[in-house]
Amino acid sequence: MSGNRAVAYKEPGVVEVIDTEYPTFELKDGPGVNPANVGRKVPHGVILKTVATNICGSDQHMVRGRTTAPAHLVLGHEITGEVVEVGPDVEFIRVGDIVSVPFNISCGRCRNCKERKTGICLNVNPDRPGSAYGYVDMGGWVGGQAEYVLVPYADWNLLKFPDRDQALEKIMDLTMLSDIFPTGFHGAVTAGVGVGSTVYVAGAGPVGLAAAMGAQLLGAAVVIVGDLNEDRLAQARTFGCETVNVGEGPIQDQIEQILGVPEVDSGIDAVGFEARGHGKEAGHEAPATVLNSLMDITTAGGSLGIPGLYVTGDPGAVDEAAQKGSLSLSLGTGWAKSLSFTTGQCPVMKYNRQLMMAILHDRAPIAKAVNAKAISLEDAPRGYAEFDAGAATKFVLNPHGYLSD
């Protein structure tokens, strides 16, 4: 093999499909690659022929110019693929396996990996704990919105689907295992959702919808999803969620109309650092809005799951503090109500096998819940533009024609 096609960030608002190198078992220099990782040998890796690779809201933050991502960075951390080459140190994964790739890159050897904290692996990113494919400041591992991609530590990282035909039949659901389904589920778990819980999910994008479905799987009695986008709220209602439009008045009042009380047991932030104001401030960027509103509406002693992305470098933020990730949080409210907070990358491997079984046995129609739509790799720029405009769709790139829809 000598060629590869991939989706790359060019400049704010612009992505393009480029010709790039076919991967080898060595991390080479390139946009975003940490210098300390250049030349890193990957005998424990495999090369995948990409079956499906998804456009994520986290990618969209970079494409909007809201991070320090360099030009020409190959994007994509939501990857499902077929193994076409294995490195000499790979023992259990075989050519022909269909696999899900956790977006967290982890070594399986460090203390954090052994404690199932795979989102903060100590050995794959020279700058900080934690790494991901095709993402700014995450070590420079090349992204998977491509025809072919290298995956390190394959025996550890890859989730092999037990039956190839069954996997390909349910591939639109299974592709969500690389990120958004475990991430949303993690938000629900860390928010303390259980049987009979009342839950508020801030954000009706794909992660918010995955969090809502995750809350339902955990036994929630009522799941309420809030957003400004009516199309996305309508999508949440298709699988049994209640909804509130946060631009149409105080959230507490709308929750009280649904539950009879103005609070919920559990709150989930699936929005992150580009949050917009609520009520009269709707439409204006106010990055602490969601976190502060969740503290207001979550009952004393409750928990907040925060799978929404927050960053330490945002050149487009509304003020100097927010550009460094410093937000005006009402921490006193959280302290007074004895609220618990969980932030950070989802440790995908903690959940992906269980969620795979839920999908394979028809317990979790996640692709339908997030309105997944397959498009070609060459159509990625259109997918990014429509997603950025607020489409109630999860775009799944289909580089090799494995997907029928």
Does any domain span residue 118?
yes
d(CA 176, CA 161): 13
276 lies in the same domain as 171: no
154 lies in the same domain as 228: no
170 lies in the same domain as 34: yes
Does any domain span residue 403?
no
Q: Does residue 332 have a pLDDT over 70?
A: yes
Q: Let me know: does 264 contact 300? Beta carbons within 8 Å.
A: no
Q: How many residues does the chain have?
A: 405
Q: Let me know: does 79 contact 140? Beta carbons within 8 Å.
A: no
Number of structural domains the chain divides into: 2
Confidence of residue 133 (pLDDT cuts 50, 70, 90): very high
- Ranking 105-119, 126-140, 218-232 by mean pLDDT, the lowest is 126-140
Q: Does residue 94 have a pLDDT over 70?
A: yes
What's the mean pLDDT when you consider all of the chain?
Answer: 95
pTM here?
0.96
Does any domain span residue 164?
yes
Where a domain ends, among 319, 342, 365?
A: 342
Domain that holds residue 231: 180-342
Q: Does residue 405 have a pLDDT over 60?
A: no
106 lies in the same domain as 216: no
Where a domain ends, among 305, 323, 342?
A: 342
37 lies in the same domain as 160: yes
239 lies in the same domain as 370: no
146 lies in the same domain as 191: no
Q: Let me know: does 224 contact 201? Beta carbons within 8 Å.
A: yes
Report pLDDT for 325: 86
Does any domain span residue 380?
yes
| Whole-number Cα distances in Å, 107 to 115, 121, 298 | 12, 7, 37
188 lies in the same domain as 173: no
Residue range 355-397, pLDDT digits in tens: 999 999 999 999 999 999 999 999 999 999 999 999 999 999 9
Report pLDDT for 316: 85
143 lies in the same domain as 8: yes
Q: Does residue 279 have a pLDDT over 80?
A: no
Residue range 2-52, pLDDT digits in tens: 689 999 999 999 999 999 999 999 999 999 898 999 999 999 999 999 999
